[in-house]
Chain A
Amino acid sequence: MITKKVSKKDIRKLLGTWNQECNVIVPSRVDGVVGMAAWDNQDISFLDWYRNTVIPPKSCFLPKSEVMMSFKKNENGYNLEVPTNEHWQVIFGVRPCDARANAIIDHVFAVTYDDYYYISKRRNTLLVGLSCTNPYDSCFCTSSNIDPTESEYVDLMFTDIGDDFVIEDFTGGGKALLNMSNTLKKVTKADIDKIKEVKAASVSKIKKTVDTENADRKLGSLFNDTDYWERISAKCISCGICTFLCPTCFCFDINDEMIRKQGARYRGWDSCSFRSYTRMPMENPREEKWRRVRQRVCHKFEFFPMNLGINACVGCGRCIRSCPVNWDITQVIAGLPAEAGIKSGK
């Protein structure tokens, strides 16, 4: 519920207060690439330029590579050491699409399976959402029933209303964060009106839409249509960009590295786009490119809805923005049956 607001000029102070108690992670440009990184306790210029990250926030819980355990040979065998994650972190600036994406990956690592490495980071994290008021032309979150200014998957939600951010709190953790600060102000009737205005305007800025209704059913009936998938996949170059930058893709690979009797077990991102995917345990059942492309589309829009009743695509548009060949998933979903239509506001 909406309770407080904070002046933009006090954001540094607010983040500073939190940073004394836990690690504050903010949108950062590291060597020109936008991702979530530790705040330097000073710079809040991201408030001016930040739209969304290139590297999705899933990397805070499922990094591109992480140590699962380190080992060293001794006289009796091996000494094993498993990393711990006891520190708390606050991720500031999570967009509603990515917040939903985190909730989707939670199903994989924290509901259907208790993954120590994921949970140990996730449970110590508070998410502070930031309403999306300047989406990209590739964003289509509204088609996944996401409002770019609302989220039920964050602890706090900030919405820019001009000089201030209006704050909505949803959880005890969020309330605790607010209680730590003395820089907050009460919201007025005018602020409530303003936030409604901003929210409506933000929704209307999402121009790309695609009808995802019944996509699972349509994909199910198309599954064995080889010609269709060959045509759809023709221009795909089988790189891993769409899957690695997808906030809900979670495939990983595990590798042991050992030099001179000591080393570590690593876990890192893997991609169903790769021909070498799952070649380690056996063979890749999806040798042909069209099978791999079909897997990605069906996983998002058929298998996830079948198993969990929700599309695993949140419409963040990263796979479209970064694709080397402009392979656009919305075109594929829109093109499933002839009558479906895609409206692009370009």
Chain B
Amino acid sequence: MEKELRDQAAKLLEEGTVDYIVGFASGTLKHTTTPLITGDKDETSSLVINPFISNNLATYALEISGRLGIVAKGCDSRSIVSLIQDKQITRQDIVILGIPCSGLIDLKKVEKLAGKERDEIDEVVVVADKVVITVGSEKQEVPAAAVLFDHCIGCELQIPQEYDFLIQGPAVEIRNSEASREKIKELKQMSPDQRWSYWKQQFNRCIRCYACRQVCPACFCERCFVEESQPRWVSPVSQWQDNLIFQAIRAIHVAGRCTDCGECERVCPVDIPLRSLSKEMYDLVGEMFNYKSGMNAGAPPLMTAYELTEVESLIR
């Protein structure tokens, strides 16, 4: 897969079809990758495809001017489509290098299983539907679903639907939409009081770094409500009340655009389970409007369209 991708990327730059390639390269730390943004065809030889390519590169399409060749997993391709629907980018400016994806490794789950931290783990290798974790001389084999991100377990698009080039390769379907909603189920079983104190506790430790917003391709507002000062909607002081309001509004704002790529939760430095909010919104959108974001570039954005058949239980 990597060779095909590198050749294709180099060709696109060489022919002048794109100005930049946005893909993944190996990171500087163990089991990490890093976004590679390059206009140099020689650098395309560092492009990689592995189970650690977590970033949703669609977010770069918003800020890099010029024609881009973007490496996209299924979820990322949906974010690109969603941005096209919202007229944030034009289809002609983007060359989608689709790659099949069997799911990405959630290092936090691996750390938990291995009882070691990321850098103390020697190897994490995917073998079909199993993952082998090596620490020193000890090898541990676990079902892939046990160490994939929650959003990957519930993935609805292992192979991008929208693409210009599709890199050929295996895409193991490890779908378990129930397991993917485990955390949400847990929260729903709580009483409203319990749930309220749960979220209070979670947002108490939010440091308002806005990494969740910054990585999110669906968060493309030029001016975020949270930074408005005249009038001021949310206090910039990091206190649980305002932290929670920020996130609650963000979750509602991205409804119909969120493709459940899970980046908000992965990047949170204080481990707030943000996907519980976004995934619940994602499922509600599906339930109420029979809509899946980023699946059809020609469709109008969810919140701008209205069908007579839509549920109106709130407005009578």
- Give me the interface of A with B, judged by CB distance under 8 Å: 30-33, 51, 54-55, 64-65, 136-138, 234-235, 237-241, 244-245, 253, 255, 257, 266, 268-269, 271, 274, 276, 279-280, 289, 320-322, 324-328, 330-331, 344, 346
Q: Is B59 an interface residue when CB atoms closer than 8 A count as contact?
A: yes
List the count of A-B residue pairs having beta carbons below 8 Å apart: 115
CB nearest to B39 among chain A residues: A231
Binds A, one of B7-15, B134-142, B186-194, B202-210: B202-210
B237 pairs with A240, CB closer than 8 A: no
A33 pairs with B55, CB closer than 8 A: no
Q: Give every chain A residue within 8 A of B35 (Cβ-Cβ).
A: 235, 325
B211 pairs with A324, CB closer than 8 A: yes
Q: Give every chain A residue within 8 A of B266 (Cβ-Cβ).
A: 324
A-B contact pairs, 24 of them (CB 8 A): A31-B201, A31-B202, A31-B271, A54-B270, A137-B29, A235-B35, A235-B37, A237-B211, A238-B214, A239-B267, A240-B208, A255-B236, A268-B208, A268-B237, A269-B207, A269-B208, A271-B209, A324-B55, A324-B211, A324-B214, A324-B267, A325-B34, A326-B34, A346-B28
A270 vs chain B, min Cβ distance (A): 8
- Give me the interface of B with A, judged by CB distance under 8 Å: 27-30, 32-37, 55, 59-60, 63-64, 117, 119, 201-202, 205, 207-211, 213-215, 227, 229, 235-239, 263, 266-267, 269-271
- Residue B205 contacts which of A33, A51, A239, A325 (CB distance < 8 angstroms)? A33
- Residue B32 contacts which of A64, A276, A326, A331 (CB distance < 8 angstroms)? A326
What is the interface of chain B mostly: helix, strand, loop, or mixed? Answer: loop
Q: Give every chain A residue within 8 A of B236 (Cβ-Cβ).
A: 253, 255, 268
B100 vs chain A, min Cβ distance (A): 23
| Measured CA separation A325–B263 after assembly (Å) | 11
Closest 7 CB pairs of A and B: A239-B211, A240-B209, A326-B34, A324-B267, A137-B119, A326-B27, A239-B214
Q: Give every chain B residue within 8 A of A136 (Cβ-Cβ).
A: 117, 119
CB nearest to A235 among chain B residues: B35
A206 vs chain B, min Cβ distance (A): 12
Q: Give every chain B residue within 8 A of A234 (Cβ-Cβ).
A: 37, 60, 64
A183 vs chain B, min Cβ distance (A): 31
A64 pairs with B238, CB closer than 8 A: yes
| Measured CA separation A271–B210 after assembly (Å) | 11
